[in-house]
Amino acid sequence: MVDLTINTDVARQILTGFIRSEVTRAGFSRAVIGLSGGIDSALSCALAVDALGKENVLAVRMPYRSSSPDSLAHAELLIKQLEIPSKTIEITNMVEPFFALDPNITQLRKGNVMARERMIVLYDQSEVFKGLVIGTSNKTEILLGYSTQWGDSASAINPIGDLYKAQVRQLSRAMHIPTVIIDKAPSADLWDGQTDEGELGFTYEQADQLLYLLVDQRYSLQECVDAGFDKQFVNQIINRVRRTQFKRMLPPIAKLSNRTVGYDFLYLRDWGT
Amino acid sequence: MKLHLALAQIATKLGDVESNLEKHIDYIKRAKSNKADLLVFPELSLTGYVLQDIVASVAHRPTEDDPVFKHLLKASHDLDLVIGFVDEDERHRFFIASAYLSGGKVVHVHHKVYLPTYGLFDEGRFFAWGDSIRSFDTRFGRVGLLICEDFWHASPPYLLWLDGADLMIFSSASPGRGLNDKEKLDSARWVERVNKAYASMFTSFVAHCNRVGFEDGLLFWGGATVNDPNGDLVAQGPYFEEALTFAELDLNQLRRTRARLPLLRDERTALVQKELDRILARGRSNH
């Protein structure tokens, strides 16, 4: 077993510093977070509160009619604990007319539409609350590409994108996120009974361990097999990471001129600040 | 003889030289009021680190008529200064540079000789490689300057040592990385370890000033250190936050340590040269 334990004091200090610095340098003092009731958004939210103060973080709950009541309740639990302003904006009436346009719409398409509708709501609330949208994708799901592009993956800054799922759990415990949120099965809650691990076909623990060796430690396929991983599983993960690279990038621009955005027009976001 | 050293681990504005200069002046005033003799700023302290396409627009020459350096040179009448900046030569090559200023004069300019271009680093894409490693005389004895990756390689500190430096001044913009279960980031542990090792092996003072603050997702970890010729930590700045760290260096320690431990006296430079010649002749080294 690979030890993914992190020093949570150091992580907390760096991540809250990051949120404070990157929000204020963009000219803001507030943040908006879509609170799903799950662990990732709970952690991002708690970090943002640490960084910006409780009055400066707006939690937005965006249920669909089939969303699990637990999701709403767990989000509520955190909102109460952190004493932060919140809004509940149901997306049912926004997405159902769209679903009705095509009787053949699949569950996957519906899931994507809901994820993108939530993005629309969040970015609208960003303008209302004058706060930046804080990302809630962890390293495991980013590497697996387990997200809806421009949907749940959309944000202004992401404090938890370099933490594997196990590390998200560890830091969440250190930050006193309610245990019920930490311990429940991760789910996008896009349809009844959906769980991440059921859909992916493997556990986050397996994925964390293997991704750490492949990505952080640069192990080859054979070295992963020698370390005890099933060859088919390793291949599956390697292919998945490769296949979903597009989700981790901005769209490539076809180069014509001598200076092209994305290739040789290179500036950080913090340029001039 | 005592040297009152001050290390300014500052955060910078990316590409905003004017604003960074103001911060320098402010720290210089604070160091001066604390009776510092020498104040060290981090790598690229006037410009910020991940400059990319900003490089050409923030370059300066360390001369009296330069709009930035004229202020710093003036300030160097009160105390000696080490400044991090982008140096542009007459033929418009851009270097990551450190300048040692004293008494209104530029005493020495070091151009970074190792430009990391791997992992998260891309310096070789934007900067020219420095091609000299020289110690120089100051009112506190002979000093050597290195910048970040320069001292990740063992040869530059070794050359400074042979060239007479008893005080090595390292400046960095080191992004924090390698979080695990320990209290220190991997990058901090590594840098602290080699700083202590150089001080011990070269029986010299080694001061390190690393910047703080974020640039996008990169956090610079600070943690300025001074190690004495015994390899003992004399002073350390905090991690992650701006600070002005003071250290009183008892320069007589050089004599006491080297009387006990004559590593410098016994260093067999001719042997080193002979073996280097042989190794290079066989083409076993890089370049």
pLDDT tens for the 273 residues of chain A, in order:
899 999 999 999 999 999 999 999 999 999 999 999 999 999 999 999 999 999 999 999 999 999 999 999 999 999 999 999 999 999 999 999 999 999 999 999 999 999 999 999 999 999 999 999 999 999 999 999 999 999 999 999 999 999 999 999 999 999 999 999 999 999 988 788 889 999 899 999 999 999 999 999 999 999 999 999 999 999 999 999 999 999 999 999 999 999 999 999 999 999 999
* For A264, nearest residue in chain B (alpha carbons): B53
Q: What is the mean pLDDT of chain B?
A: 97
In chain B, what are the domain boundaries? 2-261
Chain B residue numbers touching A22 (CB-CB < 8 A): 214, 216-217
Closest partner residue to A22 among B13, B53, B214, by Cβ?
A: B214
What pLDDT was estimated at residue A235? 97
Stated as kind and residue range, the H or E segment containing B266 is helix B263-266
Does residue B261 sit in helix, strand or coil?
coil
Q: Do B54 and A7 touch (CB under 8 A)?
A: no
For residues B38-57, average pLDDT = 98
Measure in Å the smallest separation between the Cα of A25 and chain B Cα atoms: 10
Work out how many CB contacts closer than 8 A connect A with B. Answer: 62
Residue B285 pLDDT > 80 = no
Using an 8 Å CB-CB cutoff, list chain A residues near B215. 268, 270
Percent of chain B surpassing pLDDT 70: 99
Start-to-end CA distance of chain A, whole Å, equals 43
Chain A contact set for B217 (CB, 8 A): 18, 22, 162
B92: its two tokens: 């418009």
Give the residue from B126, B216, B220 with the most A CB atoms within 10 Å of its CB, the best one to mutate: B216
Name the helix (H) or strand (E) containing A131: strand A131-133
Helix (H) / strand (E) element for B8: namely strand B2-9
* Alpha-carbon distance A102 to nearest alpha carbon in chain B (angstroms): 42
As a residue count, chain B comes to: 287
Which two tokens mark B136?
Answer: 């120089």
Q: In whole angstroms, give the CA distance from residue B51 to residue B47.
A: 8
Q: Are B225 and B233 in contact (CB under 8 A)?
A: yes
Query: Would strands A131-133 and A30-34 be described as parallel, antiparallel, or unpaired?
Result: parallel
- Which chain B residue has the Cα nearest residue A261? B53
Write down the pLDDT at residue B286. Answer: 65
Tokens, residue A9: 């004091």
Q: How far apart are CA B59 and CA B41, in angstroms?
A: 17
Q: Three-state DSSP class for B19?
A: helix
| Confidence band of B282 (pLDDT split at 50, 70, 90) | confident
**Could you give the C-alpha distances from B217 to A20, A39, A158, A193, B120, in angstroms and in order?**
12, 22, 9, 36, 11
CB contact under 8 A, B14 and A273: yes
Distance of CA B42 to the CA centre of its chain: 7
Q: How many CB atoms lie within 10 A of CB B250?
A: 14
Q: Is B114 exposed, middle or buried (0-12, 13-18, 19+ CB in 10 A)?
A: buried
What's the pLDDT score for residue A240? 97
pLDDT at A192: 80
pTM beyond cutoff 0.90: yes
Residues of B in contact with A170 (CB under 8 A): none
Identity of the amino acid at A208: D
Which residues are A131's β-sheet partners? A30
- Determine which helix (DSSP H) or strand (DSSP E) holds B246, and give its type and residue range: strand B243-250
Class of domain A8-185: alpha beta
Closest Cβ opposite residue A7 in set B50, B179, B219? B179
| H/E segment holding residue A196 | helix A196-200
Report the complex ipTM.
Answer: 0.93
Residue type for B85, please? F
Tens of pLDDT, residue by residue over B77-122, are 999 999 999 999 999 999 999 999 999 999 999 999 999 999 999 9
Pick the CATH number of B2-261 from 3.60.110.10, 3.30.70.660, 2.60.120.260, 1.10.10.10: 3.60.110.10
In this complex, the residue of B179, B215, B219 whose CB is nearest that of residue A268 is: B215
Cβ–Cβ under 8 Å, residues B113 and B131: yes
